[in-house]
Amino acid sequence: MADQPNGPVTVPAQAGHMLERARWAARAFASYSHGDVERIVRAVADVAHAHAEKYAEWAVRETGFGVVEHKVRKNRACSRGLLDTYAGQDFVTPRVRIDDKIVEVPRAAGVVLALTPSTNPVATVFFKVILALMTRNAVVVSPHPMARECCHDAAQLLARAAVEAGAPDGIVQSVAEPTIPLVEALMGDARTNVILATGGTGVVRAAYGSGNPAIGVGPGNVPVLVDSTADIRTTAQRLVESKAFDNSVLCTNESVLIVEEAVADKLVREMERVGAAVLGADDAQRLRDFMFPVGRLNVDVVGRDASWIAQQAGIRVGPRTKVLVAPFDVAVPEEPLTHEKLSPVLGMIRVPDAATGIATARAIVRIAGAGHSAAIHSSDPATVMRYAADVPVLRVSVNVGNSTGSSGLDTNLAPTMTIGTGFVGRSALGENLQPKHLVNWTRIAYNSDPAEAMPAYAGLSPWHDHRDPVPSYPLASNDDRAPRQAPSNVDALIDRIGARTASNGSSADDAAFREQVRRLVVEELSHLIKG
């Protein structure tokens, strides 16, 4: 059923409006030069960085999750920080491999659907939008309903900055009122070229089941092993700071502390010195009862500070407590403290030696978090190597807080808000999401026979600089967003195409030519009114 002019817009049509506009922008953007892309990305990153504090405060206020100063750091890392990380990398210019007689021509994905979570909302918007623009893709942001206002506003800010820097209108869009039917329509539409799904297991499974290419990530449940060779004082400081970082809403935060018995008492003392409260058996049980009342995580604790959680659980702790540490005895699925907590609560188990610690970490990851990440504090490379080989994860942070370690903020891993869990975690992505994952390369391959020479390609590029603005996206006359004289949009586009043709020696007044272009434009617009 087609939409009625000035009437309600159906969900499929609403999705179609956004995706058709994005496809229009993506087609134009795909011809931009490396210089154009650098200019646009820098403008977007600069405006994101300038508003990092505003959106950190807004995200905490809207969701109730996390710590403002920590979200500021994530917002900055996912704006100008990305420029620094990928400085000098080119995802636009064709690459010539002379020795292999191969030329690689980049091909943008097209339209990226970016699903963003409530826990790391604006940082993920910044991250996914900038990665999409680096690779000349259009992006439609679908925020989590709990963070829709801050995310939608942030996406609109980035969209304006991109267009003002010369990007096509519609290159960045955002869903103002996300609903399950609308998100499903966006995911299942053939005009969506790839889905970036960051969120709960249900969201990721829906993305993979949409019929479109998807890059989804699995949940975390990070074990951290502290062996007898670790610098205990430094380790305690790093553990508490990492577990308290943004109140543990990053999926890379430590979930279960596994410590060798020989250094356990010392580690407990040092952690208490820097802000941890290590609970006794009775208080640990009160914490279990509050956090896992029916065997599942009480979502009220997500992103809340340790003092609030302790108060709600009926546990007395000091006002400056940053982390609650709850000891347990056996790493089995029936033990609630072995599961992901998304809050500054750390389960703790003692083990007799490093080998048993590694086996315990394997058990934790089998319960949840396969493919995600793990951490270890040790000065023994043999133990670190065995840990990485035996625990089924794809990133292991060493002697660093894992919240910022596996996410690339405090290591040289790619900085990311999207952690790939690979085959073991049922994900198509096995590393931290990077720009290279949003572009394919068409490879021109010459005969390998040395007698068959490959001509010179150096300096050749099919793209060109865009110094003039791209024509506005033409809206259908029955679209409420169209100007009252909507047909002039089409005529202006035809005039512009005609003028370009005239500059090449053809007549811009050729009626047959104008009619041919009009038919092409009308065919494009027909997608907008299909309900």
What residues act catalytically?
A: 251
**CA–CA separation, 298 vs 343, rounded Å?**
11
Question: What is the strand order of the sheet 95-97 is part of?
Answer: 95-97, 102-108, 439-445
For tokens 């586009």, name the residue: 493
**CA–CA separation, 36 vs 120, rounded Å?**
30
Return the structure tokens found at 158. Answer: 């980035």
Reported residue count of the chain is 531
Element housing 250 (H / E): none
Give the single-character DSSP code of 2: P
**CA–CA separation, 369 vs 207, rounded Å?**
19
**CA–CA separation, 336 vs 516, rounded Å?**
67
Closest CA to 112 of 34, 29, 42, 46: 29
* CB-side neighbour CA atoms (13 Å) of 259: 23
Cα-based distances in Å from 479 to 4, 185, 247, 277, 529: 9, 19, 45, 59, 8
**Secondary structure (H, E, C), 140-171:** EEECCHHHHHHHHHHHHHHHHHHHHCCCCCCC
- Residue 33 one-letter amino acid: S
| Cα 495–Cα 497–Cα 498 angle in degrees, nearest 5 | 60
325-328-330-332 Cα dihedral, nearest 10 degrees: -60
